[in-house]
Amino acid sequence: MGNNNVCDAPLGSGRGGGSNEKPCVKNIRKPCVSSFLQEPVMIKVTERGEADVTIVQSPSIDREGHARNANNKLRYAVSEMQGWRSYMEDEHALNPNLASNRQQAMLLKDHHLFAVFDGHGGDFASKFCCTHLVSTLTEQKDWQSYLTLSNEGDGSRESVRGLALLKSALTSTFLELDTKLMDAQRNVRLGQLSKLETLVKTLHLEMAFEKAIFQCGTQDHDRIMNFERRLPSTLPAGINLERSGSTGVVVLVTPSHIVCANAGDSRAILSKKNAVLPLSFDHKPHNDVELTRVEKVGGFVRAGRVDGDLAVSRSFGDFGYKNCSTKESGDSSNEPKDHRVTAHPDILVYAREPMNDEFLVLACDGIWDRLTNKDCSDLIRSLVNHEGETDVGLICEEVIDTALELDSRDNMTCCIVMFPRDTTPVMDHLTTSPSTQRGVVKRRLDREKIWGKHSSPALRCQIRCDERRMKNQQSLAPQQAKTPTCQSSKATGKKHKASYSALQRNDISRSSKSPKLIKKYL
């Protein structure tokens, strides 16, 4: 499967679309886990967009009292890559129109919604949540009440009451999405049973018909017996619905606030001029709050997993964990609070600060397992402020490449939302230079000079792993100091032939990320 999905686009062919690097994966070793591919699928699917923004606060003013030259566009993009996984299970929502079902003409053009869903056990849950997110949100009574509020005053959308309605609407949206998902999965199972019943009936009729023809011995016996009805021998391969689920992180940007709802370990951050703020916290079973909640409703956590199996304690789907007996009463309950794994979100709200807000990042755990909040923010800041990158889509792709080079083995989705920012003479100078002399494209060209035309993030990761392993072996066994070592990562492509051959002999290192490697790559 992986062999048919390798991108062959030439390097430096343009600044838009997917990745411009030509991956070479023929020397990459076969992973030892069946849910992984022999080669990573490194094709990136990237979407871009921009929207006008409304900001409640006044624009920034320079020392002379004049409004600074600011770009009033909200620029956003998302990029996704399958990576080493056998299937792509991530989904995303990129600034869809927010309209009321009762008042279709009332579009909230000054509200922007972004979401990332990371599925597991198939993509059924993530696709369903992504498809029905907006419609479910606009059906909520609290959302309808929010729409009736004015834009100014004590009872406005930016007031305490308005924020309370938004938080309540998002919470009920998550819970109702989960209920709709359960109904949808039940309908799929009923459909599969119906197909099975039809198939069994048809097979019985066919057997009876053939028996009658054989007994009659008509002249058409041979013609009829050789006729193929082309019935399927088995049911189509279905989804393991009992084990299908999805995490979800949703960010709603209003003129005055940033509201984030999260269930699971997908994450969002807000980068400001002097800080990186978490918009969500991962719902891992070993966290104290989550551990207490799971045990209270009769579950247990072993090896960092709910009931020793599920790696997140909140998600959509995973209905095998959502009918649990409480220790106190022993009664089964369908209330979200009584589920071992719940879709009830945590919600954080931050006031917007036009002079300090830089960008948002929403991503799945395939990114965050290899990059900390600060790592990700520093990488994006460097590309924008020091290297002059203006294409948000390419920045998303570079974040994914960085995580892949740091040995991420999961699907990867990264969404970046750039807030309007002041333009400075430095930025003007950077953005007027040719695209091949700045930003992501320049990084790719530089890497090609160092590693060769046929390198890829995954291959570079494995070469570095081999280098570290061989250095460790030398330090532990001085008597083997004369053993040939891998060439330095700064060597030319020809010098890496020894590293390529080493890939055939050594196992993939699954060690944790190295701060030195992150710093070197960034």
CATH of the domain at 154: 3.60.40.10
Question: Is 6 within a domain?
Answer: yes
Question: Is 354 within a domain?
Answer: yes
Residue-level length of the chain: 522
Q: Which residue has the tokens 């998002």?
A: 170
Question: Is 265 within a domain?
Answer: yes
Question: Is 329 within a domain?
Answer: yes
Residue 166 has pLDDT above 90, yes or no: yes
Comparison of pLDDT for 142 and 221, the residue scoring more: 142
Indicate the number of domains in the chain.
Answer: 1
Residue 241 has pLDDT above 60, yes or no: yes
Question: Is 358 within a domain?
Answer: yes
Question: Is 453 within a domain?
Answer: no
Question: Is 227 within a domain?
Answer: no
According to the model, what pLDDT value does residue 215 have?
A: 56
Q: Residue 439: give the domain boundaries.
A: 2-183+241-448
According to the model, what pLDDT value does residue 227 have?
A: 44
User: What distances in angstroms separate CA 344 from CA 79, 168, 244, 336, one per listed residue?
Assistant: 27, 11, 17, 7
Residue 328 has pLDDT above 90, yes or no: no
- Tell me the C-alpha distance between 232 and 234, whole Å: 5
pLDDT, tens digit (0-9, with 9 covering 90-100), for 113-141: 999 999 999 999 999 999 999 999 999 99
* pTM for the whole structure: 0.76
Weakest mean pLDDT among 29-43, 343-357, 436-450, 491-505: 491-505
Of 267, 292, 270, 301, whose CA–CA distance to 281 is shortest? 267
Question: Is 454 within a domain?
Answer: no
Give the distance, in angstroms, between the CA of residue 26 and the centroid of all CA atoms in the same chain. 26
